Amino acid sequence: MSGKQKHPKNKEKSWIRLVAEPQLENEIDEMETAVEDHARESARRRRHAVWGNRTLWFVALTAIAIALSYVVLLRMPEGGEVTFLSMLVVCLIGYILGPAEGICGAAIFGLIKYFIDYGMVQTNFAELCDYLVGYLLLGICGVLLSIQIQSGRKSRFVFGIRSAMTIAVLLRFLESVWNYLYFYPAAGMSFAQQLKEAVVYCSIYIFPELVFSLAVLSIPAVMNAIQFLRIMANEDYAERYDYY
C-alpha cells in the first residue's frame, strides 16, 4: 500500500479532542458568567450600602457640617465665627432627609460642637444655650421646606431651599442677639445701645456666611448635585440614575 495507514491512537486522540474542547469551552463560559455575576452582585451591594441608606447620609452630613465648622474664615474676639458653609450643610440635612432629621441633626451638631469647644467638665450655660438653641433653629429649615399649600387640585411647597435657609439663619441671628443681651449685659449702657451693639456684632459673623451660602446655592451645578444626593439618600439604585 502506497498511502500511510492512520494509527488507531490518532483516531482516539481526535475523538477525545472533539469531546473535550466543547466541554472546556462550556466550563470557560460558565466561569466567565460566574465572574460577571459576582461583579454585578458586588456592585449591587456597594450601591445598596449608599443608595437609600438614610442613616449613613444623616451621619455623613452631620460629620461634614462639624468638620466645616472648624474651617474658620473669620473669628470674632468675643465668640462667633464665619465658617466655610457649615450652616448650609446643617440646613441641607433637613432638605435632603426631612424635617425630623433636620432638627435632630442640628441639635446633635450644636451639642457636639459645644463639647468639643468646652469639654465635658466645663459648664458654660450661656454658650450651651447659644450652641444648642441657636443651631437647633437652623433645623427649622427642613420644617419650612415641608410646608405645602393647596393650589387647585395640586399642592405646592411654600419655601425653596434658599428662602427656608434665610429664615432659619435669621432665627439663629435673633437667638444670638438675645443671648448677647441676656447673658452679657454691658454696664453703663442703655438698652438701645446694647441692642445696637448686639445687632452689629452678631451681623458681622452670621450674615456673611449666609450670603456666601446663598451664592453657592445659586450655582446650577451645585443644585443639581444636591438634588442627586437627595435621590441617593432616599431611593434605591436604578440604572436610569447613571445618566442623571
Q: Full-prediction pTM beyond 0.75?
A: yes
The predicted structure's pLDDT at residue 29: 62
**Per-residue model confidence as pLDDT tens digits over 126-145:** 899 999 999 999 999 999 99
Whether 1 shows a pLDDT value over 50: the answer reads no
Q: Where are the domains of the chain?
A: 54-243
Secondary structure letter of residue 5 according to DSSP: P
**Per-residue model confidence as pLDDT tens digits over 10-28:** 555 554 555 555 666 666 6
Beta partners for 82? 74
Rounded Cα–Cα distance for residues 196 and 198 (Å): 5
The predicted structure's pLDDT at residue 21: 58
% the chain with pLDDT above 70:
76
**Per-residue model confidence as pLDDT tens digits over 146-161:** 998 877 777 788 899 9
Residue with cell 456684632: 201
Whether 101 shows a pLDDT value over 50: the answer reads yes
Whether 48 shows a pLDDT value over 80: the answer reads no
Cell numbers given for 233: 439618600
Whether 191 shows a pLDDT value over 80: the answer reads yes
Residue with cell 437667638: 175
Please give the residue that has the higher pLDDT: either 78 or 215: 215
Report which of 212, 190, 210 is spatially closest to residue 202, judged by C-alpha positions. 210
Instruction: Specify the CATH architecture of the domain 54-243.
Output: Orthogonal Bundle (1.10)
